[in-house]
């Protein structure tokens, strides 16, 4: 059996050894036909390759840990278009290269909603990149030459879905604005980008003060864009529901 498994390894099979051993043992005991055995073998191998591929894309996506969508409190926001968001989960926007803007104050769940959309894209076989705007700009600005910047830009222009989190929380210089414009313009009408922000488009000039490309940046990103506003108080500042004071035990009457 070890020689046979070694041969399967040499032709590229990736299924774990214990799984292959169990498969071969079952085929022998149940006297499967060659066609039945090959069918099972192909199914097991494809499942293993899909899992390996998903793990690799998950690692490259850098999504981090986050609350799954079934734990999101839809009743908390005063305003959110849940139907619109759930329609986006079928990823139709990615087929046409449309963008998504999740807008609201800090702590209302914008990042969680973006991460769950990114996870859905990963599960459907797409490549994803998730990062904050500050992280992306620091990554690009530390490159020491134009060729190095061009190579690094591919991390942000090639994924099927790019998520840029926290646009508007920290000011950026004009060079950062040019880099972001470069990313958005290269992805325009080709690949989808999700942005989370606390600012309306008309205030994006405050993020990049003095940058000449802000109008063009907003124009390209917003041309085919789904906007979901989340109007709520911060989840992190919610106070727990008050608990009733404990009842005092009755006094024991004197003897």
Quote the DSSP letter at residue 78: S
Average pLDDT of the residues of the chain: 88
Residue 247: its pLDDT value, please? 52
Pair 20, 8: CB distance under 8 Å: yes
Q: Per-residue pLDDT tens for 53-108?
A: 777 777 777 888 888 999 999 999 999 999 999 999 999 999 999 999 999 999 89
Residue 244: its pLDDT value, please? 47
Percent of the chain with pLDDT over 70: 92
Where in the chain are the domains? 2-61, 69-235
User: Hey, which residues does 131 pair with through a beta bridge?
Assistant: 164
Nearest to 105 by CA among 237, 4, 9, 16: 237
**Under CATH, which architecture does the 69-235 domain have?**
3-Layer(aba) Sandwich (3.40)
Quote the pTM value: 0.76
Q: Per-residue pLDDT tens for 182-228?
A: 999 999 999 999 999 999 999 999 999 989 999 999 999 999 999 99
Quote the DSSP letter at residue 102: E
User: Hey, which residues does 229 pair with through a beta bridge?
Assistant: 103
What spatial distance separates the first Cα and last Cα of the chain, rounded to whole Å? Answer: 87
- Bridge-based pairing state of the strands 161-167 and 225-229: unpaired
């Amino acid at each position: 059996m070890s020689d046979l498994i070694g041969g399967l390894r040499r032709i590229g099979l990736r299924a774990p050894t214990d799984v292959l051993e169990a498969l071969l043992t079952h085929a022998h005991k149940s006297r499967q036909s060659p066609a039945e055995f090959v069918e099972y073998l192909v199914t097991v191998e494809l499942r293993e390759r899909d899992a390996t591929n998903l793990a690799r894309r998950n690692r490259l996506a850098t999504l981090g840990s986050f609350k799954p969508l079934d734990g999101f409190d839809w009743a908390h926001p005063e305003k959110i278009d849940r139907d619109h968001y759930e329609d986006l989960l079928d990823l139709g926007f990615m087929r046409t290269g449309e963008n998504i803007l999740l807008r609201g104050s800090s702590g209302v769940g914008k990042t969680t909603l973006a991460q769950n959309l990114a996870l859905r894209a990963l599960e459907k076989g797409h490549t994803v990149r998730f990062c904050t705007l500050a992280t992306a700009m620091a990554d690009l600005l530390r490159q020491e030459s134009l060729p190095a910047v061009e190579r690094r830009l591919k991390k942000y222009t090639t994924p099927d879905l790019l998520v840029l989190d926290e646009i508007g929380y920290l000011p950026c210089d004009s060079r950062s604005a040019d880099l972001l414009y470069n990313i958005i313009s290269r992805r325009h009408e080709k690949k989808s980008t999700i942005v989370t922000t606390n600012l309306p488009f008309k205030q994006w000039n405050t993020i990049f003060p003095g940058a000449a490309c802000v109008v063009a940046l907003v124009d390209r990103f917003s041309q085919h864009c789904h906007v979901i506003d989340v109007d709520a108080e911060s989840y992190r500042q919610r106070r727990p529901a008050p608990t009733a004071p404990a009842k005092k035990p009755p006094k024991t009457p004197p003897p």
